[in-house]
Amino acid sequence: MTIRIGVEEEFHVLEAESGLLVPRADAVLRQLPRRTFTTELHQCTVESNSAVHTSLYDLHADLTSMRRQLDTAASSLGLAVVAAGTAPLAPAASASPTADARYRHMAEEYRKVADEQLICGAQVHVDVPDRDTAVRAMCEVSPWLPVLLAVSASSPFWQGADTGYASWRTLLWQRWPTAGPVGCFSGAAEYDAAVDDFVRSGIISDPGMIYYDVRPSAHLPTLELRTCDACPRAETVVLIAGLFRALVTEARARLRTRGAPGCGGRHEWLRGASWRAARSGLEGMLVDPETHQEAPARQVVRKLLLRLRPALEAHGDWHIVRELTEAALADGSAAQRMRRAARREGLQACVDMLIAETRGERGPSVADLPMPGRPPGHASPFPVPVPGNPARLHDPTLMGGRA
C-alpha cells in the first residue's frame, strides 16, 4: 500500500520593493483560506498546509497552487513571500510575536531565542500505522537526516551578512532546549514519558515544543521530518518528501523483520553530522552515515538514493526522485545560488531570485520530468488539485488523526 505524505511550508513576508522582512502576516492571511494557511510565532511568517497525497506529482501540484495563492495575496498588498531558511535582509528589530497566548508565553520565556526565530522550515509528514512504529522508526531514519538538511540548505545570510554556513537557520534553531537529533526509545510509552518530563520540569510548556529533527506528530498518526530549511523551489520539497517517505518505508520494513531499532541508541555523532551539513550544504563534505567518515556531499547523496531505490520503486517514485536528485546536484544548493546572485548584483538581487523561485518562475519543473508510462519528451500537464476542501495537515480528520 502506498504511504501517504503531506507537507507544511513556512514563508517569510517581505516588503516587495525593499526586500525587508515585515510583520504583515495577518494582512496576507485575511485574503486566504485559513484551513490552508495559518500564523506562526512571528507576524513576518505565514505557514501553508498541504493536502494528503500518495503521488509526488500531485504533491507538487498542490504546493505550487498554494504558492500561487500566497503570492497573489501578498502582491496585492505590495508584499512578497519567500521560502528560505532565513531572509537575507532581516533587520534585528523584525520580531513581532503573533497575538496568541502560547506565542506570547514563548516570547516572554525564551527571550532572544524567540526574538531571533526569524527562520522558516519545511516539514514533511509520512503515514505510520501507530505511535510505537513512529517512535522506533525515528531511530532508524535519523542517521540520514543530515543529508536531507544539506539538500534543503537555503540560509547563508543573516541580517545582511554572509554567515559562512549553508544553513544558518540550523544554528539558530538548535538553540531551543529540545531541538536537534533525537535519541532512541523502545516505544511510544518511553518517548511520551520523556516528553512529559520536559513539560513537568517547565523547560517547555506543551508537547508541541518538542523540536527534534524528527518526531511523531502530537496529533496525527505520522512521523514528521523537521530538520530542513524552507526551500525556494517546490521541486526541492518534493525531492525531500520522496526521500523521506522512502526512508520511513525502509525503516518500517526493517522493524517488521527485526522488531526493534538497530542502532543501540548511539546518536551522539549526529549533532556533529548535522553541523557539517549546515556548514557545507551540497557544496562540501558530509558525514557518511555508514562509515562516520567525511565524504563529498555528492557521493553521500547518491549513496542514499541508491540505498532507497527499492522503496522508491515501490511507490513509483524512482524516476522523479532520481531526476530531481541529479538536477539538485548539478544546480547546487539554494545557498550556493543565493551567494552567486549576491556576488553578481548584491543582496537585493538575491532576494529577487528567491521571490522568483518561490513563485516557480526559475528552475526545473516536475511537470517536465518523465513519468512511468509517459513517452519520452511528452510532458503532460499536472493534474488539477482536488476541488472542494481536501483534508489539510492541521485538519483533525487527516490520516485518521484526532485533534
b or e along 158-176 (b: 16 or more beta carbons within 10 Å of the residue's beta carbon)? bbeebbebbbbbbbbbbeb
Contact 140, 251 (CB under 8 A): yes
Q: How far is CA 164 from the centre of its chain?
A: 21
Q: Predicted confidence band at 307 (pLDDT cuts at 50, 70, 90)?
A: very high
Q: Is the residue at 382 inside a domain?
A: no
Q: What is the pLDDT of residue 258?
A: 74
The β-bridge relationship of strands 37-39 and 5-15 is: unpaired
Q: Which three cell numbers stand for residue 8?
A: 507544511
Does residue 397 form part of some domain?
no
User: What was the pLDDT predicted at 103?
Assistant: 87
Percent of the chain with pLDDT over 70: 86
| 239 and 331 Cβ atoms separated by less than 8 Å | no
Note whether residue 393 is domain-resident.
Answer: no
The CA distance from 282 to 302, in Å, is 12
Percent of the chain residues topping a pLDDT of 90: 73
- 214 lies in a domain? yes
Angle at 236 between CA 387 and CA 115, to 5 degrees: 95
How far apart CA 180 and CA 124 sit, in angstroms, is: 16
Determine how β-strand 45-49 pairs with β-strand 5-15. antiparallel
- Alpha-carbon distance of 215 to 265, in angstroms, equals 16
Residue indicated by cell numbers 503570492: 71
**Angle at which helices 318-331 and 234-258 pack, to 10 degrees?**
130
Please state the rounded mean pLDDT for residues 260-272.
72
Q: Quick check: is 403 in a domain?
A: no
| DSSP string for 122-167 | EEEEEE-SSHHHHHHHHHHHGGGHHHHHHHH--B-EETTEE-S-SB
Output the pLDDT for position 374.
43
Q: What are 320-379's pLDDT values in tens digits?
A: 999 999 999 999 999 999 999 999 999 999 999 999 999 998 666 665 655 544 434 433
Alpha-helix residue ranges (DSSP H) falling in 259-384: 268-280, 297-307, 309-314, 318-331, 334-345, 347-359
What is the H or E stretch that residue 200 is in?
A: helix 188-201
d(CA 40, CA 200): 25
Could you identify the residue written with the cell 509517459?
Answer: 374
Which range of residues forms the domain containing residue 172? 5-367
Q: Determine which of 33-37, 128-132, 209-213, 217-221 has the lowest per-residue pLDDT on average.
A: 217-221
Q: Which residues contact 253 (CB under 8 A, 6 or more apart)?
A: 311
Please give the backbone phi and psi of residue 378, each rounded to the nearest 5 degrees, phi first.
-100, 100
Whether residue 402 lies inside any domain: the answer is no
> Average pLDDT, stretch 287-308?
96
Number of domains present in the structure of the chain: 1
Q: What is the pLDDT of residues 172-187, one digit of tens each?
A: 999 999 999 998 888 9
Amino acid identity of residue 137, one-letter, is A
- The CATH number for 228's domain is 3.30.590.20
The pLDDT tens digits of the residues spanning 112-141 come to: 998 888 999 999 999 999 999 999 999 999
Q: What's the pLDDT band for 400 if we cut at 50, 70, 90?
A: very low
In a domain, 380, yes or no: no
Average pLDDT over residues 22-39: 92
Judging by beta carbons within 10 Å of its beta carbon (0-12, 13-18, 19+), is residue 390 exposed, middle or buried?
middle
Average per-residue pLDDT for the chain = 88
In a domain, 385, yes or no: no
pLDDT tens digit string along 57-99? 999 999 999 999 999 999 999 999 999 999 999 876 667 888 8
Which pLDDT band, with edges at 50, 70 and 90, does 266 fall under? Answer: low
Q: Is the pTM of this model over 0.85?
A: yes
| Cα gap 307→302, rounded to integer Å | 8
Better pLDDT: 91 or 261:
91
Cα 151 to chain centroid, rounded: 10
Crossing angle for the helix pair 131-141 and 188-201, nearest 10 degrees? Answer: 90
